């Protein structure tokens, strides 16, 4: 009985294959950073911070929490885009997304429904959890080592 062997190209990973996890984490981290900045911008420029505080109060949360959530989203988004402490930032922002999912849960599944649905913040929470579990990635700043960048 003959045994099949894989061609050399199929047995030896290429540089592109070994770079995929690093690039995937860069894309995930950047997308999350942009989304957090977009949500902060929505609170600041569209709803305004006082309007966002009024919404928070209307759903039973302290109105002042809106300002803390805005700051967390803005600072967290910038830190994720810079690659500074991405795992820690993703984990720290997880309660923001879980809170958003909880607030929008009564509105149903679709986020563009009146009042917004819960699936979008829930998905972003999962993406933040994945980033935390997967690690900083090769293209993140190594903040514990004086902000050095090590693409290896």
Average pLDDT of span 66-85: 97
Q: What is the mean pLDDT of the chain?
A: 86
Contact 93, 129 (CB under 8 A): no
**23-52: pLDDT as tens digits:** 899 999 999 999 999 999 999 999 999 999
**106 pLDDT above the threshold of 60:** yes
Q: Which of 20-24, 80-84, 145-149 has the lowest mean pLDDT?
A: 145-149
Average pLDDT of span 137-150: 66
How far is the first Cα of the chain from the last one, in angstroms, to the nearest whole number? 44
pTM: 0.80
User: Exposed, middle or buried by CB within 10 Å (0-12, 13-18, 19+), for 134?
Assistant: middle
Using 50, 70 and 90 to split pLDDT, how confident is the model at 150? low
**11 pLDDT above the threshold of 60:** no
Q: Supply 50's token pair.
A: 């006082």
- For residues 108 and 73, give the distance between their C-alpha atoms in angstroms, rounded to a whole number: 24
**103 pLDDT above the threshold of 70:** yes
Q: Three-class SS of residue 111?
A: coil
């Amino acid at each position: 009985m003959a045994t099949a062997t894989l061609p050399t190209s199929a047995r030896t990973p290429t540089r592109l294959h070994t770079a995929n996890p690093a690039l995937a984490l860069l894309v995930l981290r950047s997308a999350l950073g942009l989304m957090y900045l977009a949500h902060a911008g929505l609170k600041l420029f569209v709803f305004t911070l006082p309007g966002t505080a009024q919404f928070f109060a209307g759903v039973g949360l302290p109105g002042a929490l809106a300002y803390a959530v805005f700051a967390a989203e803005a600072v967290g988004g910038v830190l994720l885009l810079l690659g500074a402490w991405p795992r820690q930032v993703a984990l720290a922002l997880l309660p923001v997304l879980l809170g958003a999912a909880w607030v929008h849960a009564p509105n149903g599944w679709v986020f563009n429904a009146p009042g917004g649905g819960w699936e979008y913040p829930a998905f972003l929470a999962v993406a933040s959890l994945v980033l935390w579990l997967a690690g900083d990635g090769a293209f993140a700043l190594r903040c514990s080592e004086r902000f050095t960048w090590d693409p290896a």
